[in-house]
A and B are shown apart, each in its own frame.
Chain A
Amino acid sequence: MTNESCDKPAVMAFEVLKAAIIDGSAARLGRLALAGRRSIETPNYFAATSRGVVPHMTPDNVNKHLQAGGAYMALEDFIEQPQQVVGTVRSPPIYNAPTTELRPRKLHSFTAMPPSVLTVLGARRIPAVPAPMGNSNSSVSVFTSNGFQNLTTKDYHAAIEALRPDIAVPLADLALGAITPTSKRALRMAERTDEWLKAYFTDLNTDSVLRPHGIATFAPVLPIAYSIQWEYLERLSEDLVPANQISGLAVYDPDVVPDMLNGYTNLTPLARLSLATPSTPQQILRQVSLGLDIFVLPFINAVSDSGIAMTFTFPPPPGEPPLREDGTRTLPLGIDLSTPAYKTSLAPFSPSCTCYTCTKHHAAYVHHLLSAREMLGWTLLQTHNHAVMTSFFTSLRATLAEGQASFNDAIRRFTRVYDTEFPAGTGERPRARGYQFKTEHGAKKMNTKPWKKWDDEKIAAVRKAGIAAKLEKKLAKEAQLANGLEGNGVETPLVPEDDADELDHRGFAKIVSLDDTKDK
């Protein structure tokens, strides 16, 4: 705590290094400086966590192999009530986490996040699961690992004070789900968010709590029309910025930013954190052009889960992309490691990549791990994909430093050269848990069922051999076992997926005639 200084004007300093609006681009270079942490050059990204971890990455791997300067955490991942304690409310354990000199903040110490990574705390995961009941005037509906629960503004503010994230995002009244809110609802969103922000600074005094605790506040900018939230934005600009109460903006819709900046130049020096979940590098580039500085990127985790290794660079490689089999002339954003093409490939995912996966392993190993559903496959993909995003932003900043013209030119080339989406990924995903998503009625299963009934013909053939009863019983038992043990505890699958010809071909065993089997 000694390294937190009280005489600084704002908890977090954001310095705009280079900004000029030409060609309609508001892209800018900046530096985010927090007392006691290494400064973060922007534009840049923060990792999206699940239950306090970067999925598949143990803290030692985060420390050694990830360069992300920050991690976004959701309070809803930490406040579930245990089911067996009926009727009583237990204080979530995270509030009692001891702190150490190395990790003086509870959010850090509970999650064992390496001290070099700063934390952003929001109420909800990004993207959040829509709640069946909406928010009330003083609470939002959050989704914990054992169900929905109401989080009051009071509780949320108490959590921020206790957990001490480096950056806190005050509650926003968001209408989640596919339907665009009506203007009446949108107006209420703005009013509530405004009210909640007032309550935030009442509960968390800037001078006595936020500043001494080293908690920077990034005020939400709502995903509704500027014309509906201008009064709220005006208060940010006229009251809170001059009082040095907010250090940044948490933007849920980047398209509001240009109007906002036209209206309120006071807001310009604030760091802009995108919570608008871009899902491709092109979308990131667009948001950078709109003036966003930092991005929380859950899509990295999703791309890794789908067995895809990112392969794009910024700016794109020079020259025309080669002609592809389907007749197009674009480069894919990534490669699908589950396809048989990588079975024996000893090459790294991309020749220039210096990440742990690309320097110590090869595509064939990751292909094998994905096909065997070994958890390490996703770890190695996460390591690589986070490294690709790091170098994407590093070169993006370098290009931007050359000037807006070359930056815009690089964006145009990037857009022309690369596919607009990541390949879908043919491999099986790791098992998804209840707290990550809610299935919707009629939704297709993410993974195919591992156990299927044999077709009648095959069963008849086996029955002929006189062993069907034994076999069926055996398979039924195995299926039961496999289904019951699904997940982390799942036993390594033992039943070959390949047919006899393939096993014979591979030298695993050889096919013999049916009559021989009866002998013994």
Chain B
Amino acid sequence: MWAARRMASAMSASSAALTFELVAKCSTTRARASIMTLPHGPVNLPMFMPVATQASLKGLTPEQLEDTECKLCLNNTYHLGLKPGQEVLDAVGGAHKLQGWDHNILTDSGGFQMVSLLKLANVTEEGVRFLSPHDGTPMLLTPEHSISLQNSIGSDIMMQLDDVLVTTSPDKARMREAMERSIRWLDRCIAAHKNPDRQNLFCIIQGGLDLDMRRECCRGMVARDTPGIAIGGLSGGEAKDDFCRVVGTCTQLLPELKPRYVMGIGYPEDLVVSVALGADMFDCVWPTRTARFGNAVTKFGMLNLRRDVYAADFGPIEEGCGCPCCRPADQEGSMGITRAFVHHNAAKETVAAHLLTMHNVWYQLHLMSGAREAIIADRFPAFVKEFFGRLYPDGQSYPSWAVDALRGVGIDLIQT
């Protein structure tokens, strides 16, 4: 069966503010290509969403972010709640207006930052309790607070407040409590959501690394029929095998005609494997953060351009890349950036960070659009092999977790 299994137009589903159209499915793996239409326009899936934490993608203008062909980026509710704050967001008319971004925005719930970064937080049934780091005053952040803020932000996709635990937590009882509480909180979020006609609320599957708990959570969440579904609590230091098992287990249980979002994933290998396992959307600060440390993400692996070997390297950041930094000088919009120039200014002028941010975001977006094209042409397994072959040119040292996970969906990396 080598012919592409193109989907009939009947393969689509709509809710008030989201239409999901399944365009193609890989005939070998569980990978899918789709179009998700949101209030600010259509988005091709699978896709990587760059993270504009504080309503700005680390030095890039919205115009430059548009130049990378990005149609959906993230803002963080926690950060926008602190700055500029809800009052300003209401007065300005939401985050799109604030940052001059006419495309889609997804916001997280703020719970992750609260719990993982303000480690003093305690989670109770009411919400997340924490001490104001400013003056020690006890405070409470509830699902209702989070939804109210996300309504003010006006994001096209909002995330429910969930009870996040590190997946590696050994406390089964606590893990179950968190999973069940997340379902109860979803109900509170749905009840508090004021704009279901123009903002989508996604649920988040919890349950740590316990597959049965994940399955139970899937059933509970799916029953609530949100327009999209996220798999949460991952990328917290668990083994990659465990990560793949959880993603693979959940995607099998999720309805076909809803977008599936794996939260906090950004390494290229993780993206490609997760797509093979049937996931559609990803986000991570890593590509933009690592850019600020002078690192370029390329199809041949990571390059730290601060290293002295790049001081007189006049090649593009990545040979063959089409981003405005790398594309050949005779092409429209080419900047003619060399590794030597990035090295010259890395950690010295912010421009070097901006250039690498632009390149890395382009890389991530185009990795996913390449995967999408391969799915549509039904040559995704070959795409996966090419991708891993470039990263591990010896054809041997593939990470075993990737080999195993891909074997589970019908791709054998070792066999040529």
Which residues of A does B touch, CB under 8 Å?
50-53, 55-61, 78, 82, 84-85, 90, 93-94, 96-98, 100, 102-103, 109-112, 145, 343-344, 346, 356, 360-362, 364-365, 367-369, 371-372, 374-380, 430, 433, 435, 458, 461-462, 465, 467, 470-471, 474-475, 487-492, 494-501, 503-504, 506-514, 516-517, 519-520
Q: Which of A490, A509, A520 is the most central at the interface, judged by chain B CB atoms within 10 Å of its CB?
A: A509
Q: From B5-13, B119-127, B164-172, B268-276, give the one contacting chain A.
A: B119-127
Taking A85-B308, A365-B100, A488-B292 as given, write out 10 further A-B residue pairs in contact, using a Cβ cutoff of 8 Å, ordered by the A residue number: A55-B350, A58-B351, A93-B311, A369-B56, A376-B56, A376-B59, A380-B61, A458-B135, A494-B79, A507-B152
**Docked complex Cα distance between A78 and B341 (Å):** 10
Q: How far is the CB of B315 from chain A (nearest CB, A)?
A: 10
Q: How far is the CB of B363 from chain A (nearest CB, A)?
A: 17
User: Which residues of chain B have C-beta atoms less than 8 A from A520's C-beta?
Assistant: 122-124, 129
Q: How far is the CB of B337 from chain A (nearest CB, A)?
A: 5
Q: Which of B78, B134, B149 is the most central at the interface, judged by chain A CB atoms within 10 Å of its CB?
A: B134
Q: Would you call A93 and B344 a contact (CB within 8 A)? A: yes
Report 13 cross-chain contacts, Cβ distance below 8 Å, ordered by A residue.
A51-B348, A78-B344, A90-B311, A102-B329, A145-B348, A376-B57, A495-B133, A499-B137, A500-B137, A507-B145, A509-B127, A509-B140, A517-B138
The 6 closest A-B pairs by CB, nearest first: A500-B137, A375-B59, A509-B141, A462-B136, A93-B312, A500-B132
Q: CB < 8 Å: which of A50, A364, A495, A511 contacts B88?
A: A364
How many A-B contacts if CB must be within 8 Å? Answer: 253
Which residues of B does A touch, CB under 8 Å?
53-64, 67, 78-79, 81-88, 91-92, 97-100, 113, 117-120, 122-124, 127-142, 145, 148-149, 152, 289, 292-293, 308, 311-312, 314, 324, 329-330, 333, 335-338, 340-341, 343-345, 347-355, 358
Q: Would you call B85 and A110 a contact (CB within 8 A)? A: no
Known: A51-B349, A100-B329. A499 touches B324 (CB 8 A): no
Q: Would you call A496 and B138 a contact (CB within 8 A)? A: no
Interface of B is mostly: mixed
**Docked complex Cα distance between A489 and B343 (Å):** 15
Q: How far is the CB of A369 from chain B (nearest CB, A)?
A: 6
**Docked complex Cα distance between A449 and B81 (Å):** 23
User: Which residues of chain A have C-beta atoms less than 8 A from B97's C-beta?
Assistant: 346
Interface of A is mostly: loop
Q: Would you call A508 and B85 a contact (CB within 8 A)? A: yes
User: Which residues of chain A have C-beta atoms less than 8 A from B88's C-beta?
Assistant: 343-344, 364, 368
Closest A residue to B127 by beta carbon equals: A509
Q: Would you call A496 and B82 a contact (CB within 8 A)? A: yes
Q: Would you call A375 and B314 a contact (CB within 8 A)? A: no
User: Which residues of chain B have C-beta atoms less than 8 A from A514's C-beta?
Assistant: 138
**Docked complex Cα distance between A60 and B63 (Å):** 11
Known: A60-B335, A343-B88. A51 touches B344 (CB 8 A): yes
Q: Would you call B53 and A492 a contact (CB within 8 A)? A: yes
User: Which residues of chain A have C-beta atoms less than 8 A from B67's C-beta?
Assistant: 60
Q: Would you call A112 and B137 a contact (CB within 8 A)? A: no
**Docked complex Cα distance between A53 and B99 (Å):** 25
Q: Would you call A98 and B92 a contact (CB within 8 A)? A: no
User: Which residues of chain B have C-beta atoms less than 8 A from A112's C-beta?
Assistant: 335-338, 341
Q: Would you call B55 and A368 a contact (CB within 8 A)? A: yes
Known: A60-B64, A376-B56. A361 touches B100 (CB 8 A): yes
**Docked complex Cα distance between A367 and B99 (Å):** 11
Q: Would you call A379 and B135 a contact (CB within 8 A)? A: no
Q: CB < 8 Å: which of B79, B136, B145, B354 contacts A375?
A: B354
**Docked complex Cα distance between A60 and B349 (Å):** 16
User: Which residues of chain B have C-beta atoms less than 8 A from A50's C-beta?
Assistant: 349
**Docked complex Cα distance between A471 and B141 (Å):** 19
**Docked complex Cα distance between A372 and B57 (Å):** 12
User: Which residues of chain B have C-beta atoms less than 8 A from A380's C-beta?
Assistant: 61
User: Which residues of chain A have C-beta atoms less than 8 A from B118's C-beta?
Assistant: 494-495
